[in-house]
A = this chain, B = another copy of it.
């Protein structure tokens, strides 16, 4: 089944201990799509400026991503610049230029409106809601968010959460949203806000899935070569949603498997600068790593 993603397509400048890359392809919708397309058809909604390189559009199209929803507007593309230290956890943001993103008003192409799965990447919850309202009865709606919206758009976010099935967030966001330091209790509080499934992303420490009556903890796959963690979270979500969308009605096992696929996709993301590596891998690479993952996590 098809997935709609509403998010950003950006040009990132990233500095890590291994080097610096300027204006490489980035953005939440980009990372998400490149991961999800390996499992299911992806429809992308985002905005770029007239300066956005044609080669990136060709690259995304070649990967089978439907770009009918990618608006090209007057002005410059959203740019982000960040720097990672040796621990590769939270980057230091050096610059954020919203550019055309500041007026982002997502138009959902008619043919996208029947997408079965929807992923609303981290943008203003009012825009996430607006996009969601245009959809015709999607089966599964997921979203991501960030500390800024939790603090400054709390009301809109809570409205949105009522309509969300799967909520992706990190530990500190879960605590911030609920005021509850314990993660188990925080997840319980968030489930009362709407989402029946919560996936807590812990980066290099794996992830935790909270659903009705069960919890599923996964460690992260261990990597020897980490180059650039940018986009790992969206790539993770792309793996989860992409795999889920291969099912009509994903049950308990499919959901757990999806989380493992999410973890695995994220490992490919961090092994190269930008989405380079995720753009190159095949289903076979994924299956191989899935088997390895099971070997290093099973008794």
Contacts and interface: CB of A to CB of B under 8 A. Distances in A.
Interface of A: 17, 86-87, 181-185, 202, 205-206, 208, 214-226, 253, 256-257, 260, 294-299
Contact of A297 (B217, B220, B257): B217
A224 B182 contact: yes
A215 B87 contact: no
A221 B216 CA distance: 10
B205 A299 contact: no
A204 B57 CA distance: 42
Contacts of A294: 299
B86 A181 contact: yes
A185 B224 CA distance: 7
A243 to B, nearest CB: 12
How many chain copies does the complex carry?
A: 2
B208 A205 contact: no
B184 A223 contact: yes
A299 B253 contact: yes
A217 B208 contact: no
Listed residue (A205, A214, A223, A224) with the most chain B CB atoms within 10 angstroms of its CB: A205
Contacts of A226: 182
Contacts of A219: 205-206, 208, 217-219
B257 A184 contact: no
Nearest to A257: B299
A137 B49 CA distance: 72
A217 B267 CA distance: 15
Contacts of A256: 299
Contacts of A215: 222, 296
A185 B298 CA distance: 22
A51 to B, nearest CB: 36
A222 B257 contact: no
A296 B215 CA distance: 5
Given A217-B220, A217-B221, A217-B296, 9 more contacts: A17-B181, A86-B181, A184-B222, A205-B205, A208-B222, A217-B297, A294-B299, A297-B297, A298-B298
